[in-house]
A and B are shown apart, each in its own frame.
Chain A
Amino acid sequence: MPQFSRRAVLMQLGASGLAALTPGAALAQNRYAELDTQPWSYLDGNEARFLASMADVLIPEDDFPSASQAGVVDFIDLQLAGPYGQGAGLYLEGPFGDGTPEQGWQADHTPASLIRTGIARLERDDTRLVDLDADEREEFVTRLSEGKDFDLGDVPAKTLFDEIWALVKEGYFADPIYGGNKGYAGWEMVGFPGAHAYYPDHVDKNAPFPAPPRGIAHVPGTRHSADTASALRGADTPKEEG
């Protein structure tokens, strides 16, 4: 199968996803832009489109980027290709039983194979999540999150949802060295200043801490200040302005 570039694949996201690809300020600033011309490490085009559509239902665009805009699909691709996706930290000796929810992960899959197999079975009749409209996507993700109505063989639907949702949050909020959280989207959104942390003079003060985020790779963020965040919040919910 031909290896499409990330951008080319995500370009096919469909109506509600298209905005995701307009190179806005956040995307232009991202230091991983060079990745966009490279092929995927683990995912194929269908899987990437599925994950992008689902991720953008979970974390949609508002004043801050959507999940796929923030590089979450790149992040998931790299994670699934790496040790985590290949089963590091996962005991995979049989026999496998269904178990109870309290007993945790019991699927006979690595995260990478769980997601690949899960998506293939969800889309086996060629209805693609990416082709659904916004409401239908939302409805699909809701059903998947409840683990109902899906027969995915040895892939428990709830486990699949939980795994993707965990990866989406990681991709949105992990240090940008892992390919997600582009332009510090996640950190700017909440007001987390990053990995360079030294607060003995501030911890007991009731005051905002307006520092631009900086990650492990020392790249300073652009936009954030607690004031900005505050103003944005105020605009949405005026009565709560303090």
Chain B
Amino acid sequence: MATQLPKTDVVIVGAGWTGLAAAKELADAGQRCVVIERGDWRHDASNFGAPEEHDELKYARRKEHMIDTPTKTLSFRNNADQTALPMRRLGSFLPGKGLGGAGIHWNGQLWRPLPSDLEMRSHYADRYGEDILKGMNVQDWGMTYDELEPHFDFFDRVCGTSGVAGNLNGETQDGGNPFEGPRSSDYPNPPMKASPPLQMFRDTAEQMGYNPFHMPSANVTRAYENAYGAQLHPCTYCGFCERFGCGYFAKADPIVCIYDVVKDHENFELRMNSQVLRVEKSEDGKTATGVTYVDENGREVFQPADTVCLNAYALWNVHLMLVSGLGTPYDPETGEGTVGRNYAYQTIAAASVFFDENVWSNPFMGAGALGMTIDDFNGDNFDHSDLGFVGGGYISANQTNGRPINYHPTPPDTPKWGAEWKQAVRENYLHHVGIVCHGSSVAVPQNYLDLDPTYKDAYGQPLLRMTFDFPENDRKMSAYVLSKAEEIARNMDNVRAVSTVNRAAEGEKYSIVPYQTTHNTGGAVIGSDPKTSVVNRYGQMWDHHNVFVFGACLFPQNLGYNPTGPLMGLAYWTLDHMKNDYLQNPRPLMDA
């Protein structure tokens, strides 16, 4: 029997970006919050210092900050005709564990969605007619850019985002992204420096009539006190962002930006090394009563709560719903049910640019969000009339790192190993840049999440099962955007060779092996129709009004942008409605 603890106001599952933001906002609003996190306690000051943290083998290869597959993994197949097999090793995506979640080892590329992204179905139907979306479960998000803007703006001030505004209150600004939605205030910090290849990308893109700008970055460019009063420091361009914690307090993360300012709050309690097994439901099934978890001593504990927040990362939120019987699981045969529906991913392609000896890229000088970007082929920023696909992606010359175990760019037709390979690695290492195409991903009926019938995790629970392959739409999109990136690459000066890779190439299946992105989306989507969404437009479950859901599982389909900016905008929007409406009078905030 589980030990029962005294009731709390709010229980929060997961101490990553969304969980700690929820704890801070709700504790300030007078709610007693218990945060339950399955990983270890850690801190930038004591755990992520250089040079020890700059250990490529330990963190980038052995993946010490990430989930441990023997404890937690999922099973995977490309389509329903295959038998799903466990993801035995991490590869395509790297979910986090421990204080700060994946927000510790992220890159800090901090985007907002386009206004049209949030109304994708209506927007495309209006401009091109419904037919363009045939065979896809593309949906509107249920709220507009203008409704979310104050929350994007706030999160920019939590992170100290750096960049150049392209649209300030409706006025187009020089040097920024002309396609972005209006910002109510400028970036808190000036843009990052541009390395030589980024400068060359900017010049070439400009000559070709595109609109290059500095990628919005949560790698902070000067000393900055954030919206909660926490202190951040300038980035050192050390090249150890993605997969590493930042001991410089320069990459905005949930520990430095939020945990430090809530940890001593009387309404805040954190329980580490505690794995939530399920959300418990009331007898009538209409509400949740709390969560059952295995604590650090291996005891099963029931924590009752008035309100339950799911902040366990996109995939694990869906897993918790499925094992707890929250909502109705999606059935791909009938199209009914919503939990697990509309799982989507990120469609990644890239052009590799090999310079001659006159261009020193020095790739080890980098930062997670050091990029020069164009948005001319993202979302519906370009005419899709005759293209045969929807969506798009940003094209960005990125200089994130030159870590030597992994960074071995070699020109086309180089052997994969041996003397010639070795020579090519040596010749190209200091003279190369990658141009990434960071593409959207539409939701289709055949891609979904459910429970695996065979395989179990360390707690005896069925693994989450992922059924996914790149939809035809996204393959076309990716080929198109990549062709534009390749054109830019070939137009740059001092280029000896260009090669390309497309993860969604025609004829190739999605593979769970090579790293792509930790941008798993959907499965518990937000919306205004309970038939096609798990939560209403406020992030509240339709079926259980005291369960609120956070993270990229809410995205009805995936954007051409990285998810954290959009999902944190949604998080602060949900928290706003909880604080100012729901908690005074708990009830469904929308009629089903």
A interface, CB within 8 angstroms of B? 57-60, 62, 64, 84, 87-93, 95, 97, 99-106, 138, 141, 145, 165, 169-170, 173-175, 178, 186-187, 189-200, 202-209, 214-216, 218, 226, 229-230, 233, 236-237, 240-242
Whether B127 is near chain A, meaning CB under 8 Å from some CB there, is no
In the complex, A187→B423 CA distance in Å? Answer: 14
Q: In the assembled complex, which residues on chain A have CB atoms less than 8 Å from the CB atom of B236?
A: 197-200
B429 close to A192 (CB less than 8 A)? yes
In the complex, A93→B362 CA distance in Å? Answer: 43
Q: Taking the nearest CB of chain A, how far is it from the CB of B166, in angstroms?
A: 22
In the complex, A131→B357 CA distance in Å? Answer: 41
Instruction: Name A169's contact: one of B77, B359, B405, B454 (CB within 8 Å).
Output: B405
Q: In the assembled complex, which residues on chain B have CB atoms less than 8 Å from the CB atom of A138?
A: 418
In the complex, A189→B407 CA distance in Å? Answer: 13
Q: In the assembled complex, which residues on chain A have CB atoms less than 8 Å from the CB atom of B91?
A: 104
A195 close to B89 (CB less than 8 A)? no
Q: Taking the nearest CB of chain B, how far is it from the CB of A64, in angstroms?
A: 7
Q: Taking the nearest CB of chain B, how far is it from the CB of A232, in angstroms?
A: 8
Interface hit among B68-76, B324-332, B570-578 = B68-76
Instruction: Name A102's contact: one of B55, B240, B513 (CB within 8 Å).
Output: B513
B364 close to A103 (CB less than 8 A)? no
User: Given A102-B513, A208-B360, 8 other A-B contacts at CB below 8 A?
Assistant: A175-B56, A192-B404, A197-B51, A199-B239, A200-B193, A203-B370, A205-B360, A216-B54
In the complex, A99→B513 CA distance in Å? Answer: 13
Could you say which of A57, A59, A102, A209 has the most chain B C-beta atoms within 10 Å of its C-beta? A102
Instruction: Indicate whether A90 sits within 8 Å of B69 (C-beta atoms), given known contacts A104-B91, A237-B427.
Output: yes
A60 close to B429 (CB less than 8 A)? no
- Residues of chain B in range 41-87 having any CB-CB distance to chain A below 8 Å: 50-52, 54-57, 61-63, 68-70, 73, 76-78, 82-83, 85-87
Instruction: Indicate whether A103 sits within 8 Å of B62 (C-beta atoms), given known contacts A60-B419, A91-B70.
Output: no
In the complex, A90→B89 CA distance in Å? Answer: 5
Whether B531 is near chain A, meaning CB under 8 Å from some CB there, is no
Q: In the assembled complex, which residues on chain A have CB atoms less than 8 Å from the CB atom of B356?
A: 240, 242
Whether B583 is near chain A, meaning CB under 8 Å from some CB there, is no
- What's the tally of chain B residues with a CB closer than 8 Å to chain A? 72
B interface, CB within 8 angstroms of A? 50-52, 54-57, 61-63, 68-70, 73, 76-78, 82-83, 85-91, 193-196, 199, 234-240, 356-360, 362, 364-366, 370, 402-405, 408, 416-419, 422-423, 425-427, 429-430, 454-456, 509-513
What secondary structure prevails in chain B residues at the interface with A?
Answer: loop
Instruction: Indicate whether A102 sits within 8 Å of B512 (C-beta atoms), given known contacts A90-B89, A206-B196.
Output: yes
Q: Taking the nearest CB of chain B, how far is it from the CB of A109, in angstroms?
A: 11
B426 close to A190 (CB less than 8 A)? yes
Q: In the assembled complex, which residues on chain B have CB atoms less than 8 Å from the CB atom of A200?
A: 193, 234-237
Instruction: Name A190's contact: one of B83, B358, B429, B513 (CB within 8 Å).
Output: B429
In the complex, A102→B510 CA distance in Å? Answer: 7
In the complex, A88→B89 CA distance in Å? Answer: 10
Instruction: Indicate whether A60 sits within 8 Å of B418 (C-beta atoms), given known contacts A191-B430, A200-B236, A204-B194.
Output: yes
Instruction: Name B422's contact: one of A62, A104, A214 (CB within 8 Å).
Output: A62
Q: In the assembled complex, which residues on chain B have CB atoms less than 8 Å from the CB atom of A174?
A: 56-57, 61, 405
Q: Taking the nearest CB of chain A, how far is it from the CB of B370, in angstroms?
A: 8
B69 close to A89 (CB less than 8 A)? yes
In the complex, A193→B408 CA distance in Å? Answer: 15
Could you say which of B83, B356, B405 has the most chain A C-beta atoms within 10 Å of its C-beta? B405
Q: Taking the nearest CB of chain A, how far is it from the CB of B273, in angstroms?
A: 18
B76 to A, closest residue via Cβ: A103
A103 close to B512 (CB less than 8 A)? yes
In the complex, A86→B451 CA distance in Å? Answer: 29
List the 6 closest A-B pairs by CB distance, nearest first.
A242-B357, A195-B51, A197-B238, A190-B429, A195-B54, A199-B365
Instruction: Name A199's contact: one of B82, B238, B404, B429 (CB within 8 Å).
Output: B238
B72 to A, closest residue via Cβ: A91
Instruction: Indicate whether A89 sits within 8 Å of B422 (C-beta atoms), given known contacts A199-B236, A202-B362, A209-B365.
Output: no
In the complex, A47→B474 CA distance in Å? Answer: 46
